[in-house]
A and B are shown apart, each in its own frame.
Chain A
Amino acid sequence: MSANGKPYIREVSRYRWYFSSPRYLRYMAREVTCVFIGLHALILLVALRRLSEGRDAWEAFLQNLTGPAGVLLQLVILVFAVYHSTSWFNVTPKAMPVQVGENFLPGGVIIGAHYAAWLAVTLAVLFLAGAF
């Protein structure tokens, strides 16, 4: 390449850019952990299929799920799903500012409302599942 009098354009790596700053890595962590949410949805789909295949299939599925590998997998999913969900909850005040009168509600209130809704939905699911 030789000098051509034109402005110089710096190339950006399509695959390594997120290593250039911790804030990009945090973003990638938030995005990549959605894979575990998908994995959990997949387990639910498999569960439905096994349920439709009859009692034996369902019980074999439950046995796998409650075995050491199944429990470990679900724990890993839980950790990443919590990370994914909380990282989204924590940015909700940016997307959904609420103005009351002249002032905006503090971000903590909006984040807190999301946690409260999460708790309510969790309790409702546990109630429907007969946990109480």
Chain B
Amino acid sequence: MSERIVELEVLRFNPETDAEPRFQRYSVPCMNEWVVLDALNHVKEAIDPTLSYRWSCHMAVCGSCGMMINGEPKLACKAFLRAYDGVIRVEPLANFPIQRDLVTVIDDFITKLKRVKPYLVPKSDQPVEAGEFRQTPAELKRYKQYTLCINCMLCYAACPEYALVPKFIGPAAISLAHRYNEDSRDGGREERQQEIASGEGVWECSFVGACSEVCPEHVDPAGALQQVKIRSTVDWYQEHLMPWSKK
């Protein structure tokens, strides 16, 4: 177990006393196997208890500790200190307002997530006695990767469209809508289309692809959004050229 001093430059902001954020430097004695979150925890416990940040599971599952590390959206629990040379700059997730220090205001994402109905909307009511809704492995594989989304919002921090057009529903919420649309047991696509096939939905996306590059769970939101665009285009043509094909 080797130890080295790591210099952390952390963005600090106290809405009660600060007009704008400032960087604060901490020298942290770190173990080789530590991640950025370990270093922040050490700062909080031993150097500066006023530092605020979110975290929970420390194993890349809860999605709470997303932050900008040297300008890249990362989970602090998955960013090993040994991967960085020199001073490590830690900032709150980009594209979200700063509540305090590394804590951001995520209400916008939560509201958008609710709008896309990220849950199964059964095609029909079925009594419990009728048994379970069955699905083949192929039907499961169709959407499985999107179930791995942990709502960490790194994709929002990487998305320049969301930065410039905040009304954009954004990568994770649309990917989750797509996850349920692709589910053979679901019947809620038309309700979700109202949200995701609108101007604030997929048509705001210009396929930068940064969302998929930064996703810590290797979900492909950029792919999901392009697929929604294609499906929505097919819908439009069906509606206008073959109105009789619509149920």
Contacts and interface: CB of A to CB of B under 8 A. Distances in A.
B18 interface: yes
* Chief secondary structure at chain B's binding surface: loop
Interface in B203-222: 206-210, 212-213, 220, 222
Contacts of B19: 1-3
The residue among B207, B213, B230 with the most chain A CB atoms within 10 A of its own CB is: B207
Interface string A8-33: 11101010011011011001000100
Given A91-B207, A94-B220, A94-B226, 20 more contacts: A1-B20, A3-B15, A3-B17, A7-B15, A8-B20, A8-B97, A18-B160, A20-B71, A23-B210, A23-B213, A24-B160, A31-B206, A94-B209, A94-B212, A97-B223, A97-B227, A99-B141, A101-B138, A102-B137, A104-B141
Contacts of B230: 95-96
Contacts of B222: 91, 94
Given A8-B21, A17-B164, A97-B223, A24 B208 contact: yes
User: What range describes how many residues of B lie at the interface?
Assistant: 35 or more
B47 interface: no
Contacts of A99: 138, 141-142
B116 interface: no
B23 to A, nearest CB: 13
Contacts of B232: none
A55 interface: no
Contacts of A103: 141
B67 interface: no
B223 A12 contact: no
A130 interface: no
Interface in B90-136: 94-95, 97-99, 105
Interface of A: 1-10, 12, 14, 17-18, 20-21, 23-24, 27, 31, 91, 93-97, 99, 101-104
A93 B207 CA distance: 13
A12 B160 CA distance: 9
A72 to B, nearest CB: 31
Contact of B15 (A4, A23, A93, A102): A4
A31 B105 CA distance: 32
Nearest to B226: A95
Nearest to B104: A7
Nearest to B17: A3
Nearest to B14: A3
Nearest to A18: B160
Contacts of A95: 223, 226-227, 229-230
Contacts of B17: 3
A76 to B, nearest CB: 25
Given A5-B15, A12-B164, A21 B71 contact: yes
